[in-house]
Amino acid sequence: MEERKVVLVTGGSRGIGKEVAEVYAENGYDVVINYVSDKTDIEGIKKEFFEKGVKCLLVKADVSKAEDVEKMVEEAIAEFGKIDVLVNNAGITRDTLLMRMSEEDFDKVIEINLKGTYLVTKAVTKYMMKKRSGSIINLASVVGVVGNAGQCNYSASKAGIIGFTKSVAKELASRNIRANAVAPGFIATDMTSVLSDSVKENINVQIPLKRMGTAREVAEVIYFLGSEKSSYITGQVINIDGGMVM
Ligand code: NAP
């Protein structure tokens, strides 16, 4: 019997991350789901994955805190013995114009989105390197490529993730570890539900496919990048944006 594979998804309790965990589970992976909020329905999520016939470990950890991250990865390794695929998905926004942006809001977004990606990647690749295989997928954003008024902290974090991904891909390719990023456009999740209807309408006008994307449409590409079907792809940024950036 073929050995089961394991995926670790940061921020896997909601939105895109949850959908990613679901797609991997549907393809027979055991899943480690990271979250940070005390409001998370741990039992409900466990039940949902149990019913899919896969093992699911939920780990509370703030990805911006090195100690939390170390413990999370150790717990995952103790449970499953390995991590085949890492999806660095946890992310936040604290949008406002540069002139109004507090230092705290700038730092918080960089700490969770960019430093979090660094901390988790470092902790997980230690084990991937021993195994000489692995695939890492980082969540960037189209705004990390083209910028966006009101999101200088967020777009800086996402541009940083793109540079980080390419450097890691170069460092780890000789160990058979691939690293890629996805750059979603506007995807319907809690993160974008705060936008007003008029802002959403205005966004849709600018998207060639004339609609927001779904979490499933992002998750399927992330699954492809974690799988052997993408075995010759590393250091790339794949836009999933209905044609916004081309
Ligand atoms: P979301 O619905 O707001 O979910 C965010 C997830 O991140 C939640 O699971 C949350 O956990 C987790 N999280 C937040 N801070 C964390 C921390 N310090 N440590 C661990 N987990 C933390 O967001 P989303 O829309 O699914 O976005 C997922 C990723 O895609 C993000 O990196 C985002 O920047 C990126 N992205 C999204 C869009 C979009 O349009 N939605 C576009 C481009 C890129 P809790 O449930 O515990 O709070």
19-77 residue pLDDT tens: 999 999 999 999 999 999 999 999 999 999 999 999 999 999 999 999 999 999 999 99
Residue with tokens 């991997």: 24
168-192 residue pLDDT tens: 999 999 999 999 999 999 999 999 9
112-124 residue pLDDT tens: 999 999 999 999 9
The catalytic residue positions are 154
The whole-number average pLDDT for the span 194-210 is 92
The whole-number average pLDDT for the span 1-23 is 95
**Helix or strand run (H / E) with residue 188:** none
Q: What's the pLDDT score for residue 2?
A: 76
**Ligand 1: distance of its center to the CA of 90 in Å?**
4
Residues near ligand 1 with C-beta < 6 Å? 10-11, 13-17, 34-37, 40, 62-64, 89-92, 112, 139, 141, 184, 186-187, 189-192
80-108 residue pLDDT tens: 999 999 999 999 999 999 999 999 999 99
Angle at 215 between CA 212 and CA 216, to 5 degrees: 115
**Ligand 1: distance of its center to the CA of 135 in Å?**
20
CATH assignment, 6-240: 3.40.50.720
Q: What's the pLDDT score for residue 98?
A: 98
Q: What's the pLDDT score for residue 179?
A: 99
Q: Is the pLDDT of residue 159 over 90?
A: yes
Q: Is the pLDDT of residue 200 over 70?
A: yes
> What one-letter code names the amino acid at 128?
M
Q: Is the pLDDT of residue 130 over 70?
A: yes
Ordered by start, the domain boundaries in the chain are 6-240
- Looking at the CA of residue 140, tell me the nearest atom of ligand 1: 44
**Helix or strand run (H / E) with residue 154:** helix 152-172
Q: What's the pLDDT score for residue 1?
A: 66
Question: Which of 8, 31, 34, 36 is the best mutation target for the ligand 1 pocket, counting ligand atoms within 8 Å of the beta carbon and taking the most?
Answer: 36
Q: How many angstroms separate the first and last alpha carbons of the chain?
A: 43
Q: Residue 163: which residues within 8 A CB-CB, separation 6 or more? A: none
